[in-house]
Structure 1
Amino acid sequence: MATHNDLGKRGEVIAANYLIGLGYELLEENWIHGKAELDLVAYLNGQLIFVEVKTRSSTAFGQPEDFVDQAKQKQLIQAATAYVELMDHQGEVRFDIVAVLFDTPNRYTINHIQDAFWPF
């Protein structure tokens, strides 16, 4: 597996543990619909939360969250819509980004952006 894939998987584990520590219930990891993947699907206080995890080892090309562009948002919305329909969720929905930025191999910061974008 490529190094960037290892870093991404590591970031997803960190993000999942972070959210669980905040009291979120983790429902899904890497849920796939067509060509889109929902990194994490969580639940908190009656709200279904779709979480895109972005992990980087540098800000040379921008902050990790900057890579959730409109095309990526569109894919996430399509997958989330399918998930909501499949699960017959009737409550609120939101999209979060959890950005994990490593400055050394074992030191990182987390930027959790709630309601990062709003499609519904």
Structure 2
Amino acid sequence: MARKDELGRLGEDCAAAFLVGAGYTVVERNWRCPQGEIDLVVAKDGDIVFVEVKTRSGTGYGHPFEAITGAKLARLRRLAGAWCAEFEPRARSIRIDAVAVIARPGLPPVVEHLEGVF
């Protein structure tokens, strides 16, 4: 596995653990359809949340949240619609969140969670 892929997997593992610790339940990981992939689908208090995870080993190329562009958010919205069409969830609300993970070598990962980014 390439280093970039290993870092991404680490970030998704950290994000999932962080969200579970905050009371969320993981519904899906790496859900795929022809339009793309959703990193995490989680649930809490009757809400379904689609989570984009961005991981970096530092901030030399910017904060991980900076990699989430308007085009990326629009694609996530389409993917969320595709997931809902397939699974027909009975949710109080649906939203898209973002989780940034900075995993510097030799240090504990830093996890940030933004709710309702789109």
TM-score between both structures, scaled by the size of structure 1: 0.91
Does residue 44 (structure 1) correspond to residue 44 (structure 2)? The answer is yes
Give the aligned partner of residue 66 of structure 1.
Answer: 66
Which consecutive residues of structure 2, in runs of 5 or more, have no partner in the other structure? Answer: none
C-alpha RMSD over aligned residues: 1.2
Give the aligned partner of residue 30 of structure 2.
Answer: 30
Find the aligned partners of 1:24 and 1:86 in 2 and give their Cα distance: 21
Q: 2:11·2:103 contact (CA, 8 Å) conserved in 1?
A: no
Q: CA deviation at 1:35?
A: 3.5
Worse overlay, 21-30 or 100-109: 100-109
Higher RCO (CA < 8 A, seq sep 6+): 2
Find the aligned partners of 2:58 and 2:50 in 1 and give their Cα distance: 25
Give the aligned partner of residue 111 of structure 2.
Answer: 110
Return structure 1 stretches of 4+ with deviation > 6 angstroms: none
- CA deviation digits over 1:10-56, x for unaligned, max 9? 11011111111111110000001213110000001111000011000
Give the aligned partner of residue 96 of structure 1.
Answer: 97
**What secondary structure sits across from 2:104 in the alignment?**
strand
Which consecutive residues of structure 1, in runs of 5 or more, have no partner in the other structure? Answer: none
How many residue pairs align between the two structures? 117
More strand by share: 1
Identity of aligned residues (%): 37
Find the aligned partners of 2:69 and 2:84 in 1 and give their Cα distance: 22
- CA deviation digits over 1:41-100, x for unaligned, max 9? 000111100001100012112110111111211221111101111111243101111100
**What secondary structure sits across from 2:115 in the alignment?**
strand
TM-score between both structures, scaled by the size of structure 2: 0.92
**What secondary structure sits across from 1:107 in the alignment?**
coil
Q: 2:14·2:109 contact (CA, 8 Å) conserved in 1?
A: no
